Every structure is written in C-alpha cells, then in structure tokens.
Homo-oligomer: A and B are copies of this chain.
Amino acid sequence: MSSPPCSSSLEKQMDIEKADEEIEPLSADNDLYGGVKVEMKEPMDSKIYALRLKASLSEWRQQGKKGVWIKLPSELVNLVEPTMKEGFRYHHAEADYLMLVRWLPKTIPDTLPGNASHTVGIGAFVMNAKKEVLVVQERSGQFRGKGVWKMPTGAVNQGEDFCMAAIREVKEETGIDTKFLQVLAFSQTHQTFFGKSDLFFVCVLQPLSFDIKKQESEVEAAQWMPIESYAAQPYNQRHESFKYVSEICLAKSRGEYNGFAPVSMKTSSGKTFYLYSSSRDFQQVTQF
C-alpha cells in the first residue's frame, strides 16, 4: 500500500518522453454515423494511453468525426480516469466492460443513441382443464410472508424472447412444462429499478405436465388453485391492477377474451424474431 518508489516513477517518465516523440494514434474503426469506435484490448500504461488518446482526438477532430466511442474491458480499469479527463462521459457498462463516449462537433447537436431504458418481466397464467391456476408463494420480495398466491413471475434476460422467458420461469419455479399461447395484457411502469422503466407482460400458457416440483430457493409453496379462489383473494380484490388482471384471466377462462399471439418472422438481415398481434382478427392460430 505504498506509492511507487521514485526510481520507477523516473523510468516511467522516460518511457513517456520517448513515447512523446513518436505518438501513435489509437487504433479505431469508423462507424456508420460519421463517428469512430475504439475497442481497447491490450494492457497499456495509463500515461502513454493519455498521450495517444490526445493525439487521436486531434486527428479525429481534423477528420470531422462526430461521436467517439471507447470500450474498455474491466481489466483495463486504469484507462478509465485518463479517458474521462479527455472530456468523455460514461455511456453504459456491463459486468465485463465500460463504454465511454464523447461528441466532438461544437456546432452540430449531439445525436448519440441513449442507453438501454427498460427492464422486462413476465407473469404466467397457466390453467389446467379443471380451471385450476398454477400459483406460488414467494420466499422474498414484496409478497414474502403475506400468504398471497400469485402467478409465477420473472425477469426477461437480455437477448431472450419473453415468450421463452415465460416458459423458463414456470419450469424453474414449479417444474411444469408449458406451451406459450398469448399475451393477455401488459403494463409500463417507471422508476422501478435504478431509475429505469419496466414493461411487464401477462401471458397465458398451456400446461403440458401437471406434477408440481417447486424451486426450493425462491418458492415457499406452489399449487393448482381454482381460478375463482385465485381471483377472490383479498390482495387481488384490494389492488386495482391485480383485480383487473384477475378479471382478464377469468374472461379468458370462459373463452371470452383474446390476446396477442406471437408469429415468428425474419428481419431483412435474416434474424428470427417474434411479432405479436391479435390472432383472432388477423389469422387462424390455435386458440386457448
């Protein structure tokens, strides 16, 4: 826990002066929006990096570049401070890297894209032929110890289709296999998590197995519960949105409600994705 000895500081200083004579700009790729991207990979002394970054910025400014992106893997944390000292700001971070950005033009407004703004969650309405709903009591969170029987819910991962997340969460929490059918409703709320917004999709899934094997770590109890008893719980009656969703589920159980069903499509670049729309109105898809 001591400062570097003076001799080492002097050696470093000599290295830097040597570097000063032959400063090489950082290696960068052009992006599609008139900017450049630097992806640092190899370790670099922070003072040498600072000099190279300064030289690069001067070059990019002359070339009329707009946004400058610098991606620093977490191992190169020593380069964060010199980057910020050159007028960069944080753009976003993941466990293994930090992305910094700087807008160079003084006369053109900043059109840099924003950071991810939303988390996404699902609730799974799973009903068997006896009109019993698959419900759980949770060990933690806002429902802990309240005795409320609720649908399995969970967070959708980055890169995960939420219809697949619903199947995964039901399996994890209760051991039940399901088939995704429709989105019944969804909500958007704000300031839910570190200032982010949240989209929550209530989905209906068809059970393909029936023997519950509950997850020990998160689930206190799990059961099949008559849908009327589920909807009649005091918690669901007292809370406006829970009551509303319960009534949608009841309407669905009577065959009186139609949601949005997914259709698999391809983007122009060939990636598969799901588009959700009203299946009854638009095409014949297996109904629940």
Interface 1/0 per residue, A217-251 and B, CB below 8 Å: 10000000000000000000001110011011001
In the complex, the answer to whether A2 meets B6 with C-beta atoms within 8 Å is no
* Residues in B neighbouring A161, C-beta threshold 8 A: 188, 190
Q: How large is the interface on A (under 10, 10 to 19, 20 to 34, 35 or more residues)?
A: 35 or more
* Residues in B neighbouring A118, C-beta threshold 8 A: 116-120, 156, 158, 199
In the complex, the answer to whether A90 meets B74 with C-beta atoms within 8 Å is yes
* Residues in B neighbouring A194, C-beta threshold 8 A: 92, 99, 116
Is A40 at the interface (CB under 8 A from chain B)? no
In the complex, the answer to whether B275 meets A185 with C-beta atoms within 8 Å is yes
In the complex, the answer to whether A119 meets B120 with C-beta atoms within 8 Å is no
Is A44 at the interface (CB under 8 A from chain B)? no
Known pairs A185-B275, A244-B275; A89 contacts B74 (CB<8 A): yes
In the complex, the answer to whether B90 meets A94 with C-beta atoms within 8 Å is yes
| Copies assembled | 2
Q: Is the interface of A mostly helix, strand, loop or mixed?
A: mixed
How far does the Cβ of A250 sit from chain B's closest Cβ, in whole Å? 11
CB under 8 Å from chain B, chain A span 88-102: 89-99
Is A78 at the interface (CB under 8 A from chain B)? yes
Closest to A244 in B: B275
Within 8 Å by CB of A187, from B3, B116, B276, lies: B276
How far does the Cβ of A127 sit from chain B's closest Cβ, in whole Å? 17
In the complex, the answer to whether A191 meets B159 with C-beta atoms within 8 Å is yes
- Of A8-16, A57-65, A167-175, A205-213, which stretch is located at the interface? A8-16
In the complex, the answer to whether A155 meets B199 with C-beta atoms within 8 Å is no
CB under 8 Å from chain B, chain A span 1-58: 1-4, 6, 9-10, 12-13, 16, 20, 33, 47, 50-51
Is A128 at the interface (CB under 8 A from chain B)? no
Q: Which 6 A-B pairs have the closest CB atoms?
A: A117-B158, A90-B93, A185-B277, A93-B93, A116-B116, A3-B9
Can you sample 24 A-B contacts with CB below 8 Å?
Answer: A1-B20, A1-B47, A1-B51, A33-B140, A74-B84, A81-B81, A90-B97, A91-B93, A93-B99, A94-B195, A114-B157, A117-B118, A159-B190, A159-B197, A185-B275, A185-B278, A189-B271, A199-B199, A240-B266, A244-B265, A244-B277, A248-B282, A251-B281, A257-B282
Residues of A whose CB lies within 8 Å of any CB of B are 1-4, 6, 9-10, 12-13, 16, 20, 33, 47, 50-51, 74, 77-78, 80-81, 84-85, 89-99, 109, 113-120, 140, 155-162, 184-191, 193-197, 199, 217, 239-241, 244-245, 247-248, 251, 256-260, 263, 265-268, 271, 273-278, 281-282
